[in-house]
Structure 1
Amino acid sequence: MYLIMLTYRRPLAEVDAQLAAHRAFLERHYDAGHFLMSGPREPRTGGIILARAASAAAVAEWVSEDPFKQAGVADYEVVGWRPGMAAPGWPLDAAG
């Protein structure tokens, strides 16, 4: 599993101009089963995506397709992790 952490590097007006395209990007990856959760940080300085992937290279390829990345409005940090514990009702095998 991977956490994709976005940090906005441009004013929110520039981020918002790419928001519809970014959401379409997210929807494509939800439909493909890659993304499990996503949303903005609080305060709104970026966002976080929880993803499952076979490799960090696959995640890097997805990130390169994000309109936020292509427009230069966000920086990305990708962190790989393997869940070892979960609250009741949360599956540990979500990584697939």
Structure 2
Amino acid sequence: MFIVSLSYKKDPSEVDKFIEPHLQFLDKYYSEKKFIFSGKKNPRTGGVILARNVNRDELQKIIEQDPFYQNEIANFDITEVIPSKYDEDFAVFIEK
């Protein structure tokens, strides 16, 4: 499981130009069961994606398809997480 932290490099007005294509990108990987959640940081300095069912190399290739990556809108920081304790409602997302 991976946490992908996005940090915007551009002004919010520039970010907004790529929101729709970014959302389409997210939808693709939700449908493939690769993403668990995503959302904006508060304050709006970037976003976060929680990814599963991928290895680091595959996730890097997925990120490279994001319009935010392709248009240099954000930096992407990937952190692998191995859950050892979690709420039972979250168990469905834990890879066995």
1:8 aligns to what? 8
Give the Å deviation of 1:53: 3.1
Runs of 4+ with deviation above 6 angstroms: none
Listed one character per residue, the Cα deviations across residues 38-59 of structure 1 (whole Å, up to 9, x for unaligned) are: 0000101000000003310011
Match of 1:76 in 2: 76
Unaligned stretches of 5+ residues in structure 1 = none
Query: 1:51 & 1:89 partners in 2: Cα distance?
Result: 17
Q: TM-score, normalised by structure 2?
A: 0.94
Q: 1:19 to 1:27 in 2, by over 3 A?
A: same
Going from structure 1 to structure 2, the CA distance change for 1:28 and 1:93 (only over 3 Å counts) comes to closer
Aligned partner of 1:29 in structure 2 is 29
Q: CA deviation at 1:89?
A: 1.9
Extract unaligned runs of 5+ from structure 2: none
Does the 8 A contact of 2:7 with 2:75 survive in 1? yes
1:55 corresponds to: 55
**SS at 1:13 equivalent:** helix
Task: Tell me the percent identity.
Answer: 29
RMSD of the TM alignment (CA)? Answer: 1.3
Does the residue aligned with 1:36 lie in a helix, a strand or coil?
strand
